Amino acid sequence: MVERGAGPRAVVEPLAAGMTRRWELGAVHHAARTRYQRVLIADTAHGVTLFCDDERQSSEATQLVYHEALFVPAAALAARLDRVLVIGSSEGVVSQLAVDAGATLVDHVDIDADCVRVCAAHLPYGYTPAELVAAERHHGPVRVHYADGAEFVERCDQRYDVVVVDLPDERPTEPDAQLNRLYTAPFLQRCAALLTDGGVVVSQAGSPAMWRDDSLRAAWRRFHEVFAQVVPYTSDEHEWAFLIGRSTAGPDPVGEMLTRLPRLAIHPTSIDADSLRSRAVPSFRLRNHAPVDHDEAASAQSYPADVC
């Protein structure tokens, strides 16, 4: 919900049952409804910030910490890093990280062309307008595809070393929300089928905070249904957790990540060997297989969304 009236406007972001976060807005750079969502880009205390359907997606101050936590551990676990598939991640930062890390081909799939283009036009990170035009024309290592992610992987006949799924949290109270299909076990199975030997799938998986970890626990269960080995990574400087799955289990996945990290062509600003050792540990509730309370999950997602 975007507050209006006297004083600064604000976005009230739902977090969990009975909890919201209020973002005071400065200059508004873009506010419109696309075919799929409401997109708002505005100045906040975190710099230029992207909101979709009232949820903060990224901000100038913290986006690199988030995107490195999403991509770097998965890149370090993958046996190779030549071909990468990115689903979601409208800003384009993950595509850029993949190329900087050595990928020669990145297929970036996003259903919302308007959102991707607005991000390139207004965000001080991710694609520039010229870079996006080149990617839309498939000129260079990044190829942008405006398509439904579930349909893309269903018909895809390519193979990838890393598949990145970067979406907002699933919406259990909105069963028809198209992004929900990209959190299911069948979707993960199809992503796994696209992997090269030693390849990995990584997904944004929610928050580890016990008052809002229903998405993470659901994702933990699904990943274990699909993959022989699941490695979590929880950012120590952000609020999100990520799950990495691969079809073959190794005896020491963290050891593999530690070996490959210094060999990556990029030098992350927020992840080092100590980060990988300490943050690739499942939370207590995950280690003890805490079940997902679906009533709690529905309650946590039950906020109405007003038009920007």
Instruction: Answer whether 0.95 is exceeded by the pTM.
Output: no
Question: What is the per-residue pLDDT across 274-291, written as a single tens digit (0 to 9) for each?
Answer: 999 999 999 888 888 655
Question: What is the per-residue pLDDT across 98-150, written as a single tens digit (0 to 9) for each?
Answer: 999 999 999 999 999 999 999 999 999 999 999 999 999 999 999 999 999 99
pLDDT at residue 108 in the model: 98
Residue segments in the chain with a per-residue pLDDT below the cut of 70:
1-8, 289-308
pLDDT at residue 168 in the model: 86
C-alpha dihedral over 29, 67, 176, 21, to 10 degrees?
-60
Q: DSSP of 138-170, one letter per residue?
A: T-SSEEEEES-HHHHHHH----EEEEEEE-PPP
pLDDT at residue 41 in the model: 97
pLDDT at residue 177 in the model: 78
pLDDT at residue 3 in the model: 57
